[in-house]
Structure 1
Amino acid sequence: MTTIALEALDLAALLCSRVCHDVISPVGAIVNGLEVLDEEKDPEMRTFALDLVKKSATMASAKLQFCRLAFGAAGSAGASIDTGDAETVTRGLFGDDKIKLDWRAPRILMPKNKVKLILNLCLIAAGTIPRGGTMSVDVEGQGDEAAVRILAKGNYARVPAGIAALLAGTPEHGNVDAHAIQPFFTGLVAREVGMVVAVRSEPEGIVIEARPVVAEAAVAGEDTLDDAAGTALDHAAGTALDDAAGAALDLADQMRTAAASDAPLSRFNAA
C-alpha cells in the first residue's frame, strides 16, 4: 500500500486539533470553577471550586508542556534535548496515578526527533492500557544504535486497531483524521530518524519497540541465516540417515544372498 504524504498545512492543522482536544477538558473545568467562585457564597462550594481550578490548571499545564516537546519545535535552536526533560513532562502527563511510570532510560542528550519519538511512543503505550496500569520506558544502546522499548501492562491491555498501518503511513481507509494523527505523526518521526516501530502483544504485556533500520535489517538477516543453517543441518541429517538406511538395506540383501547360498556370514561387516 502506498504511503500517504500529508501536506504541511494539513499536518499542522490535524496536530493543532489533537492538542486542542487534549487541553479543552481541563480548560473547560477551569472556566466552570471560576464561574462557581464568582456566583457561590457557600464556603464549602468555593473551596471545591478552587480545588477544581487548581487541579485543572495543573493538568492543562502538564498537557501543554508534554505536547510542546512531543509535537512542537521545542528547543529548535539546538539539535539535542535532555531525556531528563522528557521524563519530567511524561511524569507530569501521567501524574493522576492511573498509569504508573517506570522511566528507566538514562539521562543523556539525544537528537530532538528521537526524544519526540519516545514521547509519542509513550502516548501510544498509554492508549493500549485504557484502564490504567504500568508503563516502563527503556533506551538500549547509544548514539545511532540506540533503541527504545516500552512495556505497558494493565487490565484489558490491547493493541489498538489499525495502529500498525498508521505507523507505517498507510492508514486502512486511505485518510487520516484528528483521532489518528498522533500514531501517523509517530511513524513520520520514526522514519525521519531512520527507525522502525513495532507494536505487539506478548504474555508480559504490550511491547512497543523502535529500532534503527540497519539494526532491524541485521536482526532479519540473522533470522534468515539461522533458518538457512537449520535447513542445511536438516538436509545433512536427512542425507546421512538416508545413506545409513541404504547401507543397512544393502547389507541385509547381501546377508540374505549368503544365507541362501550357505556362505559364511562372518565375512560381512556392518561398518
Structure 2
Amino acid sequence: MTSQTDLAAMLCSRLCHDMLSPVGALANGLELLADEQDPDMRAKCVELLEHSARISADKLKFFRLAFGAAGGFGEAIPIIEAQTIINALAADNKRVTINWAINDPSLPKPAIKVLLNLAQIALDTLVRGGTLDIGAERREGAVEIVARAKGDRIAFDETIGRALQGDLAAHEITSRTAAAHMIALVAEELGGGLQYKLGDGVLVLGAVLPEPEGLIG
C-alpha cells in the first residue's frame, strides 16, 4: 500500500513536472529581454513572458484546488472557480470546446477536487481536439459528476482508469497516476466511487460522492 508520504511526493513530482515548462519559458524570456535591444524583439519577449506567467498562474490555481487544501474557501467552493480554471487550462487549445452543465452555484470541496481532476484527465486525452462536457448535480444526498471527452483520437492510459477505480498495486502508482489514485481515496473516504468507460472516440469519467450531512441541501 502506498503511504501518504509517497503519495504526497508523487503529487509534488507531478506539480514540478507540469510547472517546469512555463517557469523555464519565463527564465528564457528574461534572459532574452536582458540581451535584446531591438524594440520589436523586446515586445515579443514581453509577450512571451506574459503568456508564460499566465500559464504558470493558471496551473498553480488548478493545483491549489485539485491537490491542495483550498485555503480561503469554506466547506463549499463556487462552481465558477472550477469553470474558470478548466477554461483557462484549455484556452490555448483552439481545437477543444468545453461545455458545462452544472446548475448548483457551489459544491463541497471534495467534489470540486474530484471534478477538477476528472476534467483535467479528460482534457489531456483530446490530443487532436474535440469536445469536453463537464456536468455535476446534487441528487439524493450525493454529488454526481461526469466528464466526457469526445474526439477523433482519445489518448487514454487505462492504468489511470484502474487508478480511478482503486485497482492499482502500490508499485504501479507513479506521478502519472497519483492524481487519479488520490481522488479514488477521496471518493472511498466519502463512501462513494469513481468509474470510467472508454469507447470509440469517447471517454466518460464519472463519480458519485455522498455529501456530508451538514452540506446536503
Per the alignment, residue 97 of structure 1 pairs with 93
Per the alignment, residue 182 of structure 1 pairs with 179
Q: In the TM superposition, what are the counterparts of 1:113-262 in structure 2 within 5 Å?
A: 113-142=110-139, 144-171=141-168, 174-202=171-199, 205-212=202-209
Per the alignment, residue 247 of structure 1 pairs with none
CA spacing shift, 1:191–1:173, aligned 2, 3 Å: closer
Q: In the TM superposition, what are the counterparts of 1:68-107 in structure 2 within 5 Å?
A: 68-75=64-71, 78-98=74-94, 99-107=96-104
How far residue 41 of structure 1 moved from its aligned partner, in angstroms, is: 0.9
Counterpart of 2:141 in 1: which secondary structure? Answer: helix
Is structure 2 residue 45 aligned with structure 1 residue 49?
Answer: yes
- Choose between structure 1 and 2: higher strand proportion: 2
- Structure 1, unpaired ranges of 5+: 214-271
CA contact (8 A) 1:154 1:205 kept: yes
How far residue 53 of structure 1 moved from its aligned partner, in angstroms, is: 0.4
CA contact (8 A) 2:128 2:151 kept: yes
Structure 1 counterpart of 2:98, one-letter code: L
Residue among 57, 60, 63 paired with 1:64:
60
CA contact (8 A) 2:125 2:149 kept: yes
Q: In the TM superposition, what are the counterparts of 1:30-41 in structure 2 within 5 Å?
A: 30-41=26-37
Over the aligned positions, Cα root-mean-square deviation in angstroms equals: 2.1
Per the alignment, residue 23 of structure 1 pairs with 19
Q: For 1:179-215, what per-residue CA distance to the aligned partner results, in whole angstroms no more than 9, with x for missing partners?
A: 22121112112222322211112457211111258xx
Counterpart of 2:171 in 1: which secondary structure? Answer: coil
- Choose between structure 1 and 2: higher helix proportion: 1
CA spacing shift, 1:95–1:175, aligned 2, 3 Å: same
CA contact (8 A) 2:126 2:153 kept: yes
How far residue 172 of structure 1 moved from its aligned partner, in angstroms, is: 5.3
CA contact (8 A) 1:148 1:211 kept: yes
How many angstroms apart in 2 are the aligned matches of 1:33 and 1:141?
46
Counterpart of 2:22 in 1: which secondary structure? Answer: helix
How many angstroms apart in 2 are the aligned matches of 1:201 and 1:174?
24
How many angstroms apart in 2 are the aligned matches of 1:44 and 1:152?
40
Q: For 1:221-265, what per-residue CA distance to the aligned partner results, in whole angstroms no more than 9, with x for missing partners?
A: xxxxxxxxxxxxxxxxxxxxxxxxxxxxxxxxxxxxxxxxxxxxx
CA contact (8 A) 2:111 2:209 kept: no
How many angstroms apart in 2 are the aligned matches of 1:8 and 1:197?
20
Of the two structures, which has the highest relative contact order with CA contacts closer than 8 Å and spacing of 6 or more? Answer: 2
CA contact (8 A) 2:33 2:42 kept: yes
How far residue 55 of structure 1 moved from its aligned partner, in angstroms, is: 0.4
Q: Give the TM-score normalised by structure 1.
A: 0.71
User: Structure 1 vs Structure 2: percent identity of aligned residues?
Assistant: 36
Structure 1 counterpart of 2:35, one-letter code: E
Per the alignment, residue 215 of structure 2 pairs with none
Q: Give the TM-score normalised by structure 2.
A: 0.87
Aligned residues: 209
How many angstroms apart in 1 are the aligned matches of 2:138 and 2:113?
18
